[in-house]
Homo-oligomer: A and B are copies of this chain.
Amino acid sequence: MSIEVEAKAYCEDLLEIEERIKGLGAEFVSELEQVDTYFNHPTRDFAQTDEALRIRRAGEKATFTYKGPKIDSQTKTREELKVELSDGDAMRDVLLKLGFSEVGVVKKLRKKYQVGEFKVCLDEVEGLGSFVELEVEVPSGDQDEIARSRDDILKTMNDWGLSKIERKSYLELLLGV
């Protein structure tokens, strides 16, 4: 169990942010098309419980992710469990057999950089526009460290001129909830 401290903001000009973080010594990590399929529980409504269950496909890779409820009012901080899969389609079939239902698909082009302790994602999301996401993983789940990481992220967002913070997930934005 690790805690993902994370915030995202709308961004009019991803190229400007890209130039800025390159100036800060950003290390390029990857550029990928990610197709995320979200599922709802057979009897629990994840929209109510603020959980998320996802199969992410990117190239040959598939990842299964569970996200717990957000535990912070300003950011997207939450527990996250990840498992790499040999076969995203077979996992989808298992979930459907178990009574889970597909609720939506989020497609995006994601450019990932590492900037100091931050993972920075520059996202072009189909149907939603452009966003910048900042993330720090706190493996310990230590509360002080989580608070410190959250403050760092929000201050950095502000420094970069990213003021339109969005706490909703891409899925929520797409579904208009």
Contacts and interface: CB of A to CB of B under 8 A. Distances in A.
Contacts of A87: 82-84
Residue from A64, A86, A98 having most chain B Cβ neighbours under 10 A: A98
B41 A98 contact: yes
A93 interface: yes
A105 to B, nearest CB: 19
B84 A1 contact: no
A96 to B, nearest CB: 10
A146 interface: no
Contact of A90 (B81, B86, B99): B81
B43 A97 contact: no
A64 B94 contact: yes
A1 B81 contact: no
Given A84-B85, A85-B83, A93 B43 contact: no
Interface string A81-125: 111111100110110011100000000000000000000000000
A53 to B, nearest CB: 7
A66 interface: yes
B83 A94 contact: yes
Given A83-B85, A85-B85, A64 B91 contact: yes
A43 to B, nearest CB: 5
A27 to B, nearest CB: 24
Interface of A: 1, 41-44, 51, 53, 64, 66, 68, 81-87, 90-91, 93-94, 97-99
